[in-house]
Amino acid sequence: MADEKHVRGMNVSPKEGRLIVDALILVDIQNDFMPGGALPVPDGDAVVAAANALIPGFGLVVATQDWHPSDHGSFAVNHEGYEVGDVIDLVGEQQILWPAHCVQGTPGASFHSALDVAGIDHVTRKGTDPGVDSYSAFFDNAHRRSTGLEDFLRARDVGRVVICGLATDYCVKFTALDAVDLGLDVTVLVSGCRAVNIAPGDGDRALDEMRDAGCRLVRTLLT
Ligand code: VGL
Ligand code: ZN
């Protein structure tokens, strides 16, 4: 874009007399979502290289961590008589029951060891309330509580976000949809995302939902 400036890796462009800043949001690039992890996303480790390639191009990089207490309500093991994949009601929301994953402080909750964590400026942890899940980086699934990420981005004049990570059909999708609702300009780097695909096509349907909501879907940020 002709009006775009690239200042020491910080992409800024003038809007209404202010600068708007681009941020990269890396969603849940954690061991438990990798092949062999507790809640494996097929080919999930492919997003690490994509994330690492993007990081140097952004002046502001945020990473999220799914960060559950062991008694979290999204874990099947915490609901007697229920199994992984069953759907229950949790504070009025439909909740899929998952295997226990990303328990606070465990190796499964750590970022993938090859992720360039030195390039991350801020970490948002979500899913910490045992009573409600939080797929989105911004709000819990019942939209009752904010994670603080919105305030963090607004305080830094972020107007545009690029999103990649895991999983396309859950945390990436809900993060992208909330970001659009918050008035941010949202680009999803599809090549840097992978889906759980519990039902075949879930990932593709999630991409359609994001596009319909106003997200820009791209396969590369290079021009
Ligand atoms: C996620 C299911 C449960 C995700 C997190 O990161 O997409 N999916 N918790
Ligand atoms: Zn989770």
Per-residue pLDDT, 221 = 80
Ligand 1 atom closest to Cα of 28? 6
Q: Is residue 155 part of a domain?
A: yes
Q: Is residue 77 part of a domain?
A: no
Q: How many other CB atoms are there within 10 angstroms of residue 110's CB atom?
A: 16
pLDDT of residue 3: 45
What is the bridge-based pairing of β-strands 216-218 and 185-194? Answer: parallel
Q: Is 28 a catalytic residue?
A: yes
Q: Which domain holds residue 151?
A: 11-69+110-218
Domain count, the chain: 1
- CATH code at position 54: 3.40.50.850
206 in any annotated domain: yes
Instruction: Give the model's pLDDT for residue 80.
Output: 96
| Ligand 1 lined by 32 (C-beta under 6 Å) | no
pLDDT of residue 128: 98
Q: Report the distance separating Cα 202 and Cα 9, nearest Å.
A: 35
Q: What is the DSSP letter of 55?
A: G
Tokens, residue 78: 């915490």
Query: Does residue 202 form part of some domain?
Result: yes
pLDDT of residue 63: 98
Q: Considering the domain boundaries, does residue 95 fall inside one?
A: no
Q: What is the rounded CA–CA span in Å between residue 36 and residue 146? A: 31
166 pairs with which residues across the strands? 194
Q: For residues 24 and 161, what is the distance between their CA atoms, to the nearest angstrom?
A: 6
Is 171 tagged catalytic? yes
Domain assignment present for 182 = yes
d(CA 68, ligand 2 centre) in Å: 7
Domain membership of residue 171 (yes or no) is: yes
Residue minimizing CA distance to atom 4 of ligand 1: 171
- Give, in order, the Cα–Cα distances in Å from 129 to each of 10, 32, 119, 214: 34, 19, 28, 30
CA of 19 to the centre of ligand 1 (A): 33
Report yes or no on 119 lying in a domain. Answer: yes
Write out the chain's pLDDT in tens, 223 residues: 444 444 445 667 776 667 788 999 999 999 999 999 999 999 999 999 999 999 999 999 999 999 999 999 999 999 999 999 999 999 898 999 999 999 999 999 999 999 999 999 999 999 999 999 999 999 999 999 999 999 999 999 999 999 999 999 999 999 999 999 999 999 999 999 999 999 999 999 999 999 999 999 999 886 5
Atom of ligand 1 nearest to the CA of 165: 6
Q: How many A from CA of 12 to the centre of ligand 1?
A: 31
